[in-house]
């Protein structure tokens, strides 16, 4: 019979650590003062960027498909989903996902309806538009 700290009769020991409450429960003094491991830092969530924080580093490469989408949306007339699909060759759901990615990067996107019922997308903030115009 293998010892209880062995798993599946492997030769690798399993490390166990007893808490202060466990030591107190079995009546053993805690002689490990100062040997506590620091608690791991909590993982921070994705921080949202403000328009002023969008920099060239966050801007897409010149000539990239994302850059093309931004260039279309910075036009005075904006861009419809069909315009962006035609320019990039992406499927509509991929293009909408790219718009979501731009929102997460801090670009202020606005959408309006045309008289014909089509949705027009525009970039609202000047900081995102100016850095995108330089990149495209």
Compute the average pLDDT of residues 117-135: 68
The CATH architecture to which 54-135 belongs is Orthogonal Bundle (1.10)
pLDDT reported for residue 119: 92
| 39-80 pLDDT tens trace | 667 766 555 455 455 555 567 887 899 999 999 999 999 999
- Where exactly are the structural domains of the chain? 54-135
User: Rounded CA gap, 81 and 113, in Å?
Assistant: 12
Which secondary-structure segment (H or E) carries 134? helix 126-135
Give the CA-trace dihedral at 99, 102, 107, 108, to 10 degrees: 20
Average pLDDT, the chain: 77
pLDDT reported for residue 123: 92
pLDDT reported for residue 33: 61
Least confident of 38-42, 54-58, 104-108, 128-132: 128-132
User: Rounded CA gap, 133 and 136, in Å?
Assistant: 5
């Amino acid at each position: 019979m293998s010892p209880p700290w062995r798993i599946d009769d492997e030769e690798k020991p399993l490390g166990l650590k007893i808490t202060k409450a466990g030591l107190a429960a079995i009546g053993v003094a805690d002689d490990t003062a100062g040997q506590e491991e620091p608690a791991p830092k909590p993982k921070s969530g994705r921080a949202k960027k403000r328009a002023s924080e969008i920099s060239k580093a966050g801007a897409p490469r010149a000539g990239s498909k994302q850059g093309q989408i931004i260039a279309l949306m910075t036009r005075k007339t904006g861009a419809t989903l069909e315009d962006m699909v035609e320019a990039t060759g992406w499927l509509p759901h991929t293009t909408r996902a790219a718009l979501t990615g731009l929102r997460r990067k801090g670009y202020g996107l606005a959408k309006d309806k045309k008289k014909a019922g089509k949705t027009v997308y525009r970039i609202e903030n000047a900081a995102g538009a100016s850095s995108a115009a330089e990149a495209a």
